[in-house]
Structure 1
């Protein structure tokens, strides 16, 4: 690497030496995520992982990919880049765990107008924290400079994760039945969805992002909106380890309740959710009020305080809530599965 430098490429806007500096800065953080199964080290052409499939009858790989979306603009406006990576990991691993799969590894892709090694390291700080929270390894990634395509200070972050589950333990809703209880896991806020609407409501380019806001308990608008997405992997794994028979899981992301909850339902069954069974976070009241947004649109866009919903047998509800509380989750019994074709009913 020491001999690698192109004056011509640098004149075109790409500084390869900045890329090498970024790799050196992030290497210790990446290695802090390593779990049994990681082969090799950072810098190879492909990330390698040898999964432990002992005891599995028919291992199934489950993958998920996503990005952070326009929440990135808020991070750029606040010049705070060390948490946005948690969102990127969360959006992938929270999807994977819906199928009962434990995430194994993660890879990221960062596109930027100009490679600033310090800023790249800040972004990767969040990515590695997200990997640690979800007990998966960061086995590789890519940082690409796009001069002329993106402004120097602009960047985008995306990634993907791969997990594993024994085929007979896949959570796919096939065992859903009328009378199953719905358990909601509390969110930390807006998470990483609906930010195009959020930015419009608050005129985010011109908003005061740092002053305390009474409606937000004294927190600033920027701090509240930038709160990272909650990662639910450890909590769901704790339930499965304890033998809780989870029948279906829905990750409440873009599209809110009306789009995501029906995805966990099977034909002839509907999730009936009681809106007074869980606290609605203040940020959503502020968005609805300031934007004049119809309540139905709020529940069709945002998570409204519930980031994940689990369906399980009624007789296991108390046990599940106890386990989730011990795992540090704010969990609520928010409804039940009933017969019907609507997919979801908010009552």
Structure 2
């Protein structure tokens, strides 16, 4: 995604690989699958080994946090395809996961009265960068230090949280009805699980970077459809499982809270605003 643009502006490449791994593994665990291998692909306009080394550092860190090996990779130098002043690149990856039919979590058991538990995000994660850049970079530079936010570029580059270990523990120990990785489209993603009602009204404290974006005049409805609003991953489960789920997140040093519930009224509402 366009997070690589910020990495280039900051000349900071050692965390973008974590994001690449996180976006893959956080998706695959949504059906209860264990990530077992990863391959990466870097396309660039020039051969800069120092930068490639930094990118790979991030990939390795992300793979370690996911307890998964990187089994292969490809670096393609294609100045005719990847264009840009100075160094320009794109980064992609693919994960393979394993799950038995019996343990698959598909969302078909979600029912009215279930609780939505939100696990905190580490920041913007890897989606919404086009809107974030549009909102912020007309007024600020990536090197600006902003009260409560810190250096803007560093805040925008905070790596995506990886939820693999707590989620796979829940698959084994809890009765879970559905998982959702909150990415592009934010909470509208919940509808993919089951066409039912998702009512969210208890979001965590808004991360400062998102508060800054909102201050630039981005409407709440657009915020709720674009950014994770401090919630990077959702678990849907019966009320009896909530404390167990929250304690597993806590054990893995991730904060979580009840953010809403399942209703029979179809659609997604966040703080009384219908977004889907």
What SS is found at the alignment partner of 1:143? strand
Aligned to 1:238: 169
Please give the alpha-carbon distance, in whole angstroms, between the structure 1 residues aligned to 2:145 and 2:223: 24
What SS is found at the alignment partner of 1:222? helix
Higher relative contact order (CA 8 A, sep 6+): 2
Residue 131, structure 1, aligned to residue 45, structure 2: no
Contact 1:238–1:327, Cα closer than 8 Å, also in 2: no
Contact 2:203–2:230, Cα closer than 8 Å, also in 1: no
Pick the aligned partner of 1:208 from 119, 141, 145. Answer: 141
Deviates more, 1:276-285 or 1:301-310: 276-285
What SS is found at the alignment partner of 1:198? helix
Flag structure 1 segments of 5+ consecutive residues without an equivalent: 1-68
The two structures, once aligned, show a CA RMSD in angstroms of: 1.4
Deviations 1:241-296 (A, max 9, x none): 3x211110111101111x211112x24x211111x342211111110112x11100
Pick the aligned partner of 2:208 from 257, 282, 286. Answer: 282
Please give the alpha-carbon distance, in whole angstroms, between the structure 2 residues aligned to 1:229 and 1:127: 12
Aligned to 1:178: 112
Residue 154, structure 1, aligned to residue 88, structure 2: yes
After the TM superposition, which residues 14-93 of structure 1 pair with which residues of structure 2 at under 5 Å, given as runs? 69-93=1-25
Deviations 1:294-313 (A, max 9, x none): 10000001101000110011
Aligned-pair distance for 1:346?
A: 1.6
Residue 330, structure 1, aligned to residue 261, structure 2: no
Flag structure 2 segments of 5+ consecutive residues without an equivalent: 272-276
TM-score (ref. length: structure 2): 0.94
Aligned-pair distance for 1:165?
A: 0.4
Please give the alpha-carbon distance, in whole angstroms, between the structure 2 residues aligned to 1:187 and 1:156: 24
Aligned to 2:274: none
Residue 220, structure 1, aligned to residue 147, structure 2: no
Q: How many residues align?
A: 269
What SS is found at the alignment partner of 2:31? coil
